[in-house]
Structures are given as structure tokens and as C-alpha cells.
Chain A
Amino acid sequence: MKLNTLISRAAVVVGGAVLSATLHAADTIKVGVLHSLSGTMAISETTLKDTVLMMVEEQNKKGGLLGKQLEPVVVDPASNWPLFAEKTRELLTQDEVDVIFGCWTSVSRKSVLPVIEELNGLLFYPVQYEGEESSKNVFYTGAAPNQQAIPAVDYLMNDLEVERWVLAGTDYVYPRTTNKILEAYLKARGVDEKDIMINYTPFGHSDWQSIVSDIKKFGSAGKKTAVVSTINGDANVPFYKELGNQGISAEDIPVVAFSVGEEELSGLDTKPLVGHLAAWNYFQSVESDENEAFIEQWKEFIGDDERVTNDPMEATFIGFNMWVKAVEKAGTTDTDAVEQAMIGITTPNLTGGMATMNKAHHLSKPVLIGEIQEDGQFEVVWETDGLVDGDAWSDFLPGSKDIIADWTAPISCGNYNTVTKTCSGQNM
């Protein structure tokens, strides 16, 4: 008897919950969150899921959007690239979300791309990436190579007078493409072939002895040498440790990294890293009112005073605010209307300026170079004078020099050749 009553009660509760969920769904706007919560990328992506949830909560406190409450739908693609595509399909067809915030690695984005285009969804992608892409259904709020890699190289070349270059990266699409662009750029700036050393290592590489020793030899030729690092994830820790152990300091051979931010530094012994550089569009240490408010809000939301903020979080913040503004402007969450409304939208970024969404679905951003400090924060040592417009198709690769992306009439194309005046589809 007792068991029976328990079961029937449970059934009532569950049924009620389902009923209220469906009732609720009718007057909410659904926000899909597609970030890995398990597997290797969970380290980085969990933070972004929490950022979106924080933004949703705040928007709901302000009274929601178009008179409706926002409802987050969180799925876990588990750092499994094909699963990203499946989960996108699930979000768009079963949950019928109005927008998706998600992805970190380029390979996960490439996996989502065909699905989101087929089902005409909307994806906000918040991480710096290799460029060479512009989809009607994706807004890229992270940096393109010309908003991170190229200004960093300019800084090393002009301010630190670097003449020899080591391009070190993890062996996958982002470092390979970025290094191809950088190599072309360096050669265009008159750097000799033999002054460039390119090196790739597998994911999670931990035995850096011979590579660091090669870098040391390469750097002892009397010319100022720097390492441009697209080494990804936790392979960085043993890399910097080995640099320190072999007696290479940041003054001798500085390393400028594109994947090392506050979040990555928070889990490690920063001693061997002090003085090395990173290029981003945002640092937690930047002093501005918006940033202070954001940091405070984040610490309160997450309930931990030690947690840090980072660049992809800022990109998520900008993307979310832009989407809210675009929906308000369009008066609907319909993908095509929002997509058109997005272009030209301006919202404050966290470094005291304004971010604008351009025709190529990329942002205008400031570029900052910071030196790593012992407390895991960055000291800004250089920044661009103004904002840099994101260039979807690099000007330094022979294949994409003449290609632009412009999602406004009359071109309305993500891959438009300005010489032959033809549009060859969205991406390739």
C-alpha cells in the first residue's frame, strides 16, 4: 500500500512537472547552450555554460525579452565532435530553441555547421579561431586571426625587435591555419625562410625536452627570437616548465600565446610563466566600470571569490547582449529577421569601448597584449590604437586574398570573390 501511494504521488509530481513545463514553454524564449560539460574540453567550456546561464538569469530579472521569460536549454556534447551535430539537431527540432550559444574547438563548430545551416538556426561562437569561414547562421564573437595573431606579431616585430620566429602549435586545424597565415605574413614583411621554425606536437604533449632544446639553439644565433604559440590546452604547462628548467627566461625568448588566458593560468604554478605574453581582446585586469561590474556579478553568480573571467566569457557577454538587442529591434526571434537586425548592432564591450557587429558576421575589437604576472593575471603592455574589424578571409593566404564576406544586400554571401564577382556558397 505504502509503495503504491508513493508511486502514484511520484507520478502526479512528474506529470505535473511535465505539464507545467509544456505550459511554460508556450510563453518563453528558449536559449540553447551547447558547451561540453564532460571530457577534455569541459575544463574550458563549463565556464561558458555558466556565463550564458548568468546572462539569462540577469535578463529575466530585467523582465525578460519581448515580454517573455528566457528559458535556457543545456545539453552536453561531451567533447565529442559528431555529438555536437546531433545535439544541435536535437536543440533545433525537439526543443525548438531560438538561438544557440556554443562550441569551443573549431572542429566542433565545423561539425555543427551543416546542421545549423540546414535547419536555419542561429549560433553564437565565442572563441578566437582561424578564420576562413563565414556562415549566414553563425555569429563569430571571438577574434579572427587579424584580431589576435597578426597584431601580436606586429608588436613583437616593432616593439621587441624580434627577427627570428618559432611558430609552435598543437597539431590540428586552428594552429595549422593560423601558422600558415603568420608564415605568409612574416615572409611578406621580409623575414627570411631560415629565420622561421615551425613545429607541431600532438594534443596533451608532455615531453618537451628536445623541442625546447631546439628552440634554445634556434634562439642562440645572436638575433632576438620569439615563440608564437598556438599550443592548446594543458600541454602548455609542461612546455613553460621545461622552458624554465632549461634556463630560458621571458627576456631571452618571449613566448606569446593565443590560447593561454586567466582560466588556464588559475590551475597552475605561474612561477615559470612570469613575463611571457598573451594576446587577447580582453583581460580581467583591464580597468573599466563595465568590467568591474561584470567581475562582481560573475563572482556572485558562481559563489566563489577566486574564480576568474576571461576572453571567451567577454565574447559570450557581447554576443548575448547583441542578440537581445537584435531581437528587440526585430520584434521577433525569427532567425532571418534577427540575422539582418544583428548587422550594425553596437553594445559595450568590457574594456571600456563599443563592439559592433560587421557585415561579415565578425566583431570590431581592440587587441591587447599582456604579460603574465605571478598572481595569474595579465599586465597590459601594448594595445591597438583603435578597434580592429574582424577579417573572415585572411588577406595573407593566396586562396582567400580576394574573398570577402558580406551578409547585406546586394552581395549576401559568406564567400564572395571580388575579382570574379561570384559567390561560391557559404564556406568553401
Chain B
Amino acid sequence: MFRYSFTLAVALLALLSLPTLADEAEPASLADAVQQLAGAKLSKVSGLLENIEAVGGEDAVPVLEAWLAGDLYYGKDDNRVVRAREDDSGLYQLFDPIGGEALGSSDKSDLRKVKLSNSVRTRLRASIARLTLFSQKVERRKSAVENLLNRPGGGNIEMLREARAQESDEDVAELLDTAIAVDTLINESDAAARLAAVAVVADSLQPAVRNQFQAMVNPDGEADPAVRAAAARALAAIEGKISFYQKLETLFFGLSLGSVLLLVATGLAITFGVMGVINMAHGELIMIGAYTTYVVQLLLPNQIEYSLLIAVPAAFLVSGAVGVLIERSVIRFLHGRPLETLLATFGISLILQQAVRSIFSPLNRQVSTPDWMSGSLEINSVFSLTYNRLYIFLFALLVFAVLQLVLNRTSLGLNVRAVSQNRNMAKAIGVRADWVDAMTFGLGSGIAGIAGVALSQLTNVGPNLGQAYIIDSFMVVVFGGVGNLWGTLVGALSLGVVNKFLEPATGAVLAKILVLVFIILFIQKRPRGLFPQKGRAAE
């Protein structure tokens, strides 16, 4: 606390010596210190930041956070530093950066941004960490300690000890212990104290701990042989744990890639697998789904959080309708002529691409990611799952389950299976085969559209989106076994996992080639795929 009382004294002294010119001299109050940011050059702002931290103490935190978020502006005319946020109408609402009182609104062109760069951001985070170490909120304290932990040996040890003495939350206390131990390992001259510190952090997965141990394994980094040996043992244990988590991580990556493959291939498994139509426009139906997401976001600019929930049924309907149209206008005339169907649908795919280029422009479109899909679920400091991949994995399984229900539990599903097994017999007992064809193709296309919604969160939404996935889709369906949805599921997930386990060893380019080579060999051995259809349906 000495630090703060000292700065307080300085601030008081400065107050007494008022009035000074605010521009050049030491700032007298937080408001003055903040005001100096107006018009300051990038090279100057770091110094001004130190002033703000010294003068303002914990009061400065909202200012620094607004600055870090890029919300700190100053007026073009009055030079006043404000926090500004864009509202729904495009105007900027102004607030006092310290107190938060509303100061009216302003047009963007009347505001200038307070300079911000990476080095300033780093300093801002460090300042905020120092100032929030004693905050009332647990979350605050936690992120403050995490920040300080990643810049060890910075002379913050007194502050950390003081914070540890007051800490009541278990997680934060553990982090503080780790931070203090790492600092001890770096700065403490007493070997016994260092040995004790090694024991404290021996099973921590924090990168700062691992790096410190790595440095200590060398005689240059650690003079005492006993401490060195302890560090080496701890390091070996940590490395073992990390390699376990890395395998888990790779497995997750593989399943996630597999779930994307599953999504894009499920629709094709129906049109190609069940109906036997080689639909080269499948990729474009995916693309239409992605563009539907874009249009939904365009129509509801303030509902980005819910846009995906609306986009899923919308994309199903739009892509499904386009699919039915393609079936009715082209494919039904080419029934039983696979080569002509292939050429015709390839032509359709080009038409759809060009249509999208003409309507939306050849440039990629921007699809926003809702907040609940950004970031990652942190399990520990070496293993985290990104939310977008996690949701898409669950979503792919859900789509698959619903599709199974539709095919096995509804009358549409019964008709679809009947027509695909024996068209003439189905017709003879009164199934409207034409209608079933259209509905089946619509269903497959609609699922392609849903895949497009998911892909819009992972990749670029542009006219070429579909082309990138058409090969993968056919690969999965053929590998899994034409006409078997379970084959598609197993095929997609296993190809994803194999790809991701190969990637670290071979690189992304070679991994993809190896997977293709593997599939070619596999198809030579088992031409009907992983789960071939049996019995009369196979004829």
C-alpha cells in the first residue's frame, strides 16, 4: 500500500501547486491525466499511460479498459476525451471516461480515436492487472494474477504476497501461490527456499512454470544440483501430462473435422446414396445455405446472437426449395442416366455460382459470429476446446439423429426407402414415386443448406464455397458405403481423426494426399465401402 500512499501524496502536492498548465506538467488529477491523451502521438501515449496509472489508482481502471477496447475517443473540436459506443442508429453515445455520466451523442466524423497499438495494449493489460489485483470481483483478480504470472520476475513479488494474504477464493489463491513460487525460483538466492518452491508448482501446467523449469535444467539456470534434479523430475512429469492432453486435443480436432465432413456429406448421402443421383451441384446448395445465413444477418442486424437459430430453418427451406426445383426441372428427365445427370448438375453448379456472383458480388460476404460461439472452453492451461467447433460437433450429431428419425419413423421415410429399394414395386402398391423423388432430393438439399449455416461460421462465404467441399463429400459417402447413413457417420469421423493425427507428422498438404491414397486403396479392396448394403437393396 506504500506505493499508493506515495502517489496520493504526489497527487496532493500537485493539487496544492495548482494551477499549472495541464499540457506539459505532471497531471494533477485523473481527469487531467486522461485529458492529456487528446491528440497525443503513438510514441507519447505510453508515458501518459504511466501517469494515469500513478495518479488514478483503481479509479483509472474503467478508463484503461475503455482504451483497451478501443472505445476511447476525443472530440475533433473540443478535444475532450470521452468513451464512445455506437448505438443502433449509427450515432456515437458519449460518456465520461471516469464517472460514466452520459454526455450526449456525436457523429463518428467528429471523433478521433485515442492511439492504440500492440505495445500500448500490452502495457494497458499489465497496468490493469496491477490495479485490479485487489479488486472486489473474483474474476478480476483471477485475470490480474494470470497476467502477472505470464511476466514473471517483474518485481511484483511484494504485491503478490500482500494479495495472497488477503485472498479468500481458492482458485485465485492457487494461482497466486504459483506466481509467488515462480518468482521465488527466479529471484530467491536461498537454495532451500527454491527447493520448496519447486514442490509447490511441481504439478502445475502453467506455461510460465514449464518455461522456468526448462531454464533450470541447465546448470546456467540453476546452480544447486539438488534443486536442478527436482526441477528435472517435475518437468518430466509435466511433459508427460502435456503430451496426454495433446493427444486428447488432436482427437477433438479430428472429431471436429469429421463433424464438418459429416454435415456436408449427410445431404449427399441421401441424394447420391439413397436416390443414386450424382449431384455435382451439392456444394452450391451448401453455399446457398451459407448465403441464407448472410441474408438473415442482413435483415436482422441487431439480432446477431439469434441469427443462427433463425438461419438453420431458413437455410433448410431455401436450399430445399432450390433442390426440389432442380429435381423437377432437370434431374427427373435424366432418371437412370448417371453420366448425363453428372454433366447436367455440373452445369447447374456453374449457373448457381454465377447467379450468386451477379446478385451478391464476387467478393466474399461477411458473416458475423455470435458471441456465444467465439472463444474457447478452457479445461486447463494446456487444453481448451473452441466453442464454435464444439457446437458444430454437437449440431452435426443432432442433424444426423433427426435424419435417422425421419427416415425410420415417418411415412416419408418409409416411402423413400421403398422407392430406393424397388421403384417399380413401390409404384405398383401406390407410392407416388415422382413426388417421393422430389421430396427426397429436397430433404438432401435442405440438409446441405444446414451444413452451409455451420460452414459460414468456419470459413469464407463466397461463390466458391461449395467447390471446396464437393470432393470431400463424395469421398466420405463412397468410403462409408453408398446408401448407408451409418457408414457416412463412421466414415466422416474416422477420416477426420486420421487426417488430424497425420497432420503434425506430415503437414496439411501431405496429410490430405495420404488420406486420398488410403481411400483409393481401400476402395480397390472393398468397392462398396465400409458398410456395403446387403440383400436385395444392393442390386
Interface hub of B211, B260, B459 (most chain A Cβ within 10 A): B459
The segment from B275-283, B360-368, B405-413 that touches chain A is B360-368
Give the docked Cα–Cα distance between A202 and B512 (Å). Answer: 9
Interfacial chain A residues near B458, Cβ < 8 Å: 206-207, 238, 241
* CB-based contact B362/A209 at 8 Å: no
A399 at the interface (CB under 8 A from B): no
CB under 8 Å from chain B, chain A span 254-295: 254, 266-269, 274-275, 277
B462 at the interface (CB under 8 A from A): yes
* CB-based contact A207/B257 at 8 Å: yes
Interfacial chain A residues near B7, Cβ < 8 Å: none
Interface hub of A43, A207, A250, A374 (most chain B Cβ within 10 A): A207
Interfacial chain A residues near B42, Cβ < 8 Å: 379, 381
CB under 8 Å from chain A, chain B span 107-128: 115-119, 121-122, 125
Give the docked Cα–Cα distance between A209 and B385 (Å). Answer: 10
Interfacial chain A residues near B366, Cβ < 8 Å: 267-269
Q: Contact partner of B117 among A206, A213, A266, A381, CB < 8 A?
A: A381
Closest residue of chain A to B500, judged by CB?
A210
A171 at the interface (CB under 8 A from B): yes
* CB-based contact B508/A202 at 8 Å: yes
A201 at the interface (CB under 8 A from B): yes
* CB-based contact B250/A210 at 8 Å: yes
Q: Contact partner of A268 among B207, B246, B364, B468, CB < 8 A?
A: B364
Give the docked Cα–Cα distance between A227 and B368 (Å). Answer: 25
Interfacial chain B residues near A242, Cβ < 8 Å: 386
* CB-based contact A200/B507 at 8 Å: yes
Interfacial chain B residues near A221, Cβ < 8 Å: 211, 214
Closest residue of chain B to A223, judged by CB?
B211
A418 at the interface (CB under 8 A from B): no
Interfacial chain B residues near A300, Cβ < 8 Å: none
Shortest CB distance A201–B (Å): 5
Shortest CB distance B495–A (Å): 12
Give the docked Cα–Cα distance between A3 and B187 (Å). Answer: 97
Shortest CB distance A130–B (Å): 19
Q: Contact partner of A222 among B211, B256, B386, CB < 8 A?
A: B211
CB under 8 Å from chain A, chain B span 485-515: 500, 503-504, 507-509, 512
B375 at the interface (CB under 8 A from A): yes
Using A222-B215, A267-B365, A267-B366 as known contacts, say yes or no to A202 and B509 having CB atoms under 8 A apart: yes
B422 at the interface (CB under 8 A from A): no
Give the docked Cα–Cα distance between A403 and B503 (Å). Answer: 38
Give the docked Cα–Cα distance between A46 and B464 (Å). Answer: 16
Using A171-B509, A222-B207, A241-B369 as known contacts, say yes or no to A250 and B118 having CB atoms under 8 A apart: yes
Closest residue of chain B to A274, judged by CB?
B70
Q: Contact partner of B369 among A42, A209, A211, A269, CB < 8 A?
A: A269
Give the docked Cα–Cα distance between A213 and B389 (Å). Answer: 14
Using A42-B362, A250-B118 as known contacts, say yes or no to A209 and B386 having CB atoms under 8 A apart: yes
Q: Contact partner of B367 among A209, A254, A269, CB < 8 A?
A: A269
29 A-B Cβ contacts within 8 A?
A42-B362, A160-B119, A199-B507, A200-B508, A205-B508, A206-B458, A209-B500, A220-B207, A234-B364, A238-B459, A238-B460, A241-B458, A246-B376, A250-B118, A251-B121, A254-B118, A267-B365, A268-B366, A268-B460, A269-B369, A274-B70, A275-B117, A275-B121, A371-B118, A374-B70, A379-B115, A379-B116, A379-B117, A381-B42
**B interface residues, Cβ below 8 angstroms from A:** 42, 70, 115-119, 121-122, 125, 207-208, 210-211, 214-215, 246, 249-250, 253, 256-257, 260, 362-369, 374-376, 378, 384, 386-389, 458-460, 462, 464, 468, 500, 503-504, 507-509, 512
**A interface residues, Cβ below 8 angstroms from B:** 38, 40, 42-43, 46, 160, 171, 199-202, 204-207, 209-211, 213-214, 217, 220-222, 234, 237-238, 241-242, 244-247, 249-251, 254, 266-269, 274-275, 277, 371, 374, 379, 381
